[in-house]
Structure 1
Amino acid sequence: MAFKSLLSVAGADHSDRDVRTAASLCAEVGAHLSVLIMSPPPLVVSPSLLGDGIPEWPRQRAHAIAAGEKPYRPIERFSQDAASLEKTSRQIHKLLRATWRCYDVDVVNCDQASVGDAVRARALCNDVTIVGPALLNDINVGPLVINGSLFDTGKPVLVVPEGAEATLCPRRVLVGWDSRVEASRSVREALNLLAGAEEVRVALVDPETTCAGNGAEPGADIAAYLTRHGARVSVDLLASAGKSAATVLAQHAIDTSADMIVMGAYGNRRLRERLFGGVTRSIVGKPSLPLFLAR
């Protein structure tokens, strides 16, 4: 499927760097850009939690009062966030008018529990969500956005870590394959860019030859599927030699000069603090390549 509508999510206190990245991707493939600007969750003052899971800001407020300082007030914070959102919106409009005209910008000021739903509603009506370095490194908003756009929609996410060259037209792509549903969905969602690549390498780490799993010839089935869609495919069977699958795939991406890694996203959606699980989480930024994920 060709990508015709991209979603970029940014925090009100982020720079415009992630939006610039998304705009460049839209220009590359001729897509519409939807930007969602979100405030940090008002109640997240510290990552520390009390024993019952309640955010620590009430305790901090009591300490501030005892010390004669101005206490934290959620209502004041909410008003400040609204003003910050409006300022960021004006800046993003100005940026996009100068760089990319096919866009829309929306703002939402919501509490922590509503972040995922707000992102989900937008991601459902876009082809792919772009996660840039600023959002990826935001411990308050980033995990909630990833859960909302990836785990709750079935839509893909393109992660662009620090130092990566963002592209939706890669020349060489490494596909991490393990015959699981998530891997199959990532390949299906990435078919357009895989068919357009000069080289697609399907990598399997320590595959077992079984009729029910990888088949009698591991990787042959997915290679045939991709070939039918016009991709130029080769299959690499990799031995872990005691290393993690993430380490092996990351090194193979370097060895093959890959421009992008395509793989399934694995993780428990109930663990809201996690960006990704298992291999997926370990490979982000190692090496610094765009990571195309689906679940």
Structure 2
Amino acid sequence: MSYKTILTVTGSGFGDGDLKLTAGLCEEVKAHFSVLVIALAAPPPIGSARNLSLAWLEEQEEDMRRVDARTAAVSVLLAGNTLSADVTSDYAEFGQGDEAIGRRARYADLTVLGPEVLAGATLKEKVIEGALFSSGKPLLLVPEGSSPTLKPKRVLVAWDSRIEASRAVRESLEMLIGAEDVRLVLVDPVQGEEYHGEEPGADAAAYLARHGVKLTIDRLPRMNRSVADALRQHAQDTATELMVMGAYGHSRLRERLFGGVTKSMLDKSSVPILMAR
């Protein structure tokens, strides 16, 4: 699909790097640039003395002042370019931060998670969960040192035949059509109707070919590597500019406790990744 509105999220403690990066992507595809400035309120103290409660209220007031100041600064930054843009702000309870981000992301075609927020912890997790679980829209993860583009020439599609991977392919279809080299990558594919079919990758390749996607099927052995490591190495070997993959084929709790491809990619990647579920 085409991206007509692109969202990024920032907070009072961040610089303008992610904003400028996302603005560049918006310019590339002539999209509207939407910015959400958000702060997460700490939960109120329980059973605390009155002076601690007052301190908590004062902290909330200071947080809101910081949000207002950051929103004003972002507005000035946006006014200095020719992009169609908007900025909104929110002061959300900590436990509702992902839902607040997800609500805003529903009105965008794509949410961009830039390297500044990605290097953090709390806001990073809220953006990931909000975009992937509360918006129904894809997330573009941009790690430090990478060069993101929405018109990539070389794309790696991590295909595992799950519904999440199918959704990611659909959300990136316009980019896949425009790419010169698309690698449909299957790691240790399993034959069978409930898995990859009798010829792993053939059905997905046929679907994409009907859309005019020029692709190659790469079936990779794990060779004592994790699936994530196999994908990362292949992305490096093929000079991939963008990886497309489904996110959280397993539950979030299972991924957190035992690890998984999504968690590994979120923690360590050298190329931008478009994720959907």
Whether the 8 Å CA contact 2:220–2:230 is kept in 1: the answer is: yes
Q: Which residue of 2 aligns with 1:34?
A: 34
Query: In the comparison of the two structures, how many residue pairs are matched?
Result: 275
Contact 2:103 2:134 in 1 (8 A): no
Select the residue among 87, 98, 119 that pairs with 1:105. 87
Aligned residue identity for 1:13 = G
Tell me the TM-score normalized by structure 1: 0.86
Question: Deviation at 1:6?
Answer: 0.6
Corresponding position of 2:176:
194
Structure 2 distance, partners of 1:137, 1:216, is 42
Deviation at 1:285, TM superposition (A): 6.2
The letter of the residue matching 2:157 is: V
1:95 aligned partner = 77
What is the CA deviation profile of residues 89-120 of structure 1, one whole-angstrom value per residue up to 9, with x for unaligned ones?
12111212223430000011121122122112
Looking at structure 2, the residues matched to 160 and 285 of structure 1 have their Cα atoms a distance apart, in angstroms, of 12
Matches within 5 A, 1:84-233: 84-233=66-215
- Structure holding more helix per residue: 2
Say what the alpha-carbon RMSD is for the aligned residues: 2.4
How far does residue 38 in structure 1 lie from its aligned partner after superposition?
0.4
Displacement of 1:168: 0.9
Q: Is this contact kept in 2: 1:123–1:129, CA < 8 A?
A: yes
> Where do residues 63-82 of structure 1 align in structure 2 (5 Å cutoff)?
73-82=55-64
Given the superposition, is the C-alpha separation of residues 268 and 111 from structure 1 closer, same or farther in structure 2, using an over 3 Å criterion?
Answer: farther
In structure 2, stretches of 5+ residues that fail to align are: none
The aligned amino acid for 2:40 is: P
CA pair 188-111 structure 1, distance change in 2 beyond 3 A? same
Q: Give the corresponding residue for 1:237.
A: 219
Q: Distance in 1 between matches of 2:255 and 2:182?
A: 33
Query: Match for residue 49 of structure 1?
Result: none
Distance 1:233 1:17 in 2: 34
For 1:12, give the aligned amino acid: S
Give the conservation status (yes or no) of the 8 Å contact 2:164–2:249.
no
What residue ranges of structure 1 are gaps of 5+ in the alignment?
44-54
Gap change, CA 1:201 and 1:138, over 3 Å in 2? same
What amino acid maps onto 2:37 in structure 1?
I
Secondary structure of the residue aligned to 1:284 is helix
Q: Which residue matches 2:262?
A: 280
TM-score using structure 2 length: 0.92
CA distance in 1, matches of 2:162, 2:144: 28
| Structure 1 position 283, deviation (Å) | 2.1
* 1:229 CA drift (Å): 1.1
Q: How many angstroms apart in 2 are the aligned matches of 1:131 and 1:247?
A: 22
Distance 1:212 1:167 in 2: 35
Quote the Cα distance in structure 2 between the aligned partners of 1:183 and 1:273.
17
Query: CA 1:149–1:218 in structure 2 vs 1: closer, same or farther (change >3 Å)?
Result: same
Distance 1:95 1:125, change over 3 A: same
Determine if contact 1:12/1:40 at 8 Å carries over to the other structure.
no
Matched AA of 2:71: S
User: What's the secondary structure of 1:79's corresponding residue?
Assistant: helix
- How far the C-alpha of 1:270 sits from its partner, in A, is 6.0
How many angstroms apart in 2 are the aligned matches of 1:107 and 1:170? 32
| Structure 1 residue ranges, 4+ long, deviating more than 3 angstroms after superposition | 267-274, 284-287
Instruction: Give the letter aligned to residue 245 of structure 1.
Output: V
AA partner of residue 204 (structure 1): L
Helix, strand or coil: the match of 1:204?
strand
Percent identity between matched residues is 44
